[in-house]
Structure 1
């Protein structure tokens, strides 16, 4: 969503603006305008040093896209030109999922998952690149893995670095919910001094459907975003994005009503509305005009095709609101 689009609307008198809105206006905003190759799942995005936006997403060796203006996106290949040998253990089709990209210590970092649908035989991989561009990533193997007998699932990774310089990796899907482990900044892998697998969100009753964590710190709180309910079912998807906050990276996280995220908690940030069905697979990106919520949704006017969604976030009142 570009600044000039927002300014044009905000300049209208409040009474006129209300008159222009439909009586049944959704509580949730539509995605900002994006064009080009925007069929994605689980997008992660950052702005490179030269101003180019780098976007990676699930499938195809981790699909790569670029944009110069955060509106028009074009495919630029894949992160990996050939699959690392270890992928085959976790995905017969060598199909990686849910990348997470960041920039630390003069290089681009990527965490990603390799698994198959409905399986907890999964692993999180780690790679780096000097440019962040397609085909330039060097893989360093497995960071964390789970088996068919594990009570949690090692997919959907997200790196968070706290104010003390400690590295944390949140991840998880279904089963006993979302987890967090500490990483060693020197290796990008598990930290020998703390092997704890922390629980940060769970749905102990009813559906176990919570996945895709993203953690950021704003205004003295740590915020945990997650995707709830059913993904990947086109127009039948019930995915939605919820959030909780904590005073420590490892929790406990609570929603606006004080319900623990380890006990089915989570306050809605974005849900289905109109043609925009099942938003989720989100990541949070800081840009020059504020924080962005980057996600996919299923387009009800395009047969349920998964598309890129981008909205700005407001933190007014201590909680994130998409607009």
Structure 2
């Protein structure tokens, strides 16, 4: 530390080794010696076997410089690298045009991250805190869980997108007026996309797509999804809350009675590893509230989540094995409850 300036470095070394002997045997079902029928049966689910061994090592770290010119202002800049270990798919692999397991997908390449961040943390006036952060993250060989529409691939598997970028801006603040009123709010803008993903599984609505390969119409199972947005990322997220409280006693125990509420909104987002016209979750808002009493070692309150009983999806996903089905994971409906909490 020098005249309000701090430097925080860090390093981490990782070594990973994985060996896999995968052997899937199928049996039962149609009993026949007809070659055509056996071929249809094998297209639905077939034996699959492969052996693979892989290892990798990595040195990652971070470097942060912060500067505090006054007690009310702290500015910082961070550069960091991160790493997700090499992996192996053990839930079955998609097949090539010859029907053999696509061994190029057996090993999941390690994921490498470079992250840049600039921010300021401020206390503009008494009781107030305001923070602003801007960041940019580049990811090479991004590991994403995908669901292939191919027959015979009944589980999702990990695939590598060659390059991904996520950047954004986050603003959050709080305000405490004496002891009886507290406010908080946050706003974030996120832009996440595949910079390059040339071997993405087809989305549900493109299943069965054919292309001319060497002059022959061939059904394909992959596409170039470069430029598509990343799943699970809403461009806009907004939240805010307020709490009113007053001093009081409960059964001779001093504490504070309070009433509080909060609201949140997120804009629409993709729910599939490969962008799909039918697997996008619409944006939604939620409201929650609570009412109760708390002291230093005891609290009791009633609460409700999703007060407006908003119907919304948390996720939409395609079923495996080219069934043409997609399903939704529903968000929780209006929920009530009571909580008693003790600390010793």
The bucket for the TM-score relative to the shorter chain is under 0.3
- TM-score normalized by the length of structure 2: 0.26
- TM-score normalized by the length of structure 1: 0.27
Higher relative helix content: 1
**Bigger relative contact order (CA 8 A; separation at least 6):** 1
